[in-house]
Amino acid sequence: MMVQNDSLRPLERRVLRLVRDGVDDTEIARRFRRSPEFVRRVIVYAGMPRAGRNAEEGTLRPLERRILKWRAGGSDHAEIASRFCRSSGHIQRIEQLATYKLSAG
């Protein structure tokens, strides 16, 4: 079972590490104070593919993507700021950070 560790939750990483080390499901369940069935489900679910993200979209938060989209559409900072009850300076900083993230990625 080859799974990308980056996409796993801490519990899943620890359970899989114990499985790789040869620890029995019952012992893993005892250590986490769960049932052996729970541990088996964690093992199975950890091997399932997760919803992937586009490399560009994965770096930006939804708010950053929306702000960049509205700015590209011609909205000014004050107009966007009123939608989020924030200052236009705040929106400018978010836009700058999003642009930096895209250029660094």
Question: Residue ranges of the domains in the chain?
Answer: 5-46, 55-104
**What pLDDT is recorded for position 103?**
86
d(CA 50, CA 91): 32
Q: What is the dihedral of CA 57, 63, 69, 73, to 10 degrees?
A: 180
**What pLDDT is recorded for position 49?**
81
- Which pair of tokens denotes residue 73? 């559409």
d(CA 58, CA 54): 6
**pLDDT confidence bin for 105, thresholds 50/70/90:** low
- Which pair of tokens denotes residue 80? 């966007």
Local structure of 39: helix, strand or coil: helix
**What pLDDT is recorded for position 10?**
92
pLDDT tens digits, residue range 52-63?
A: 554 445 578 899
pLDDT tens digits, residue range 65-77?
A: 999 999 999 999 9
Q: Examine the pLDDT at 90 and tell me if it is beyond 90.
A: yes
- Which pair of tokens denotes residue 86? 């924030």
3 closest CA partner among 38, 55, 60, 48: 48
pLDDT tens digits, residue range 5-49?
A: 667 889 999 999 999 999 999 999 999 999 999 999 999 999 888
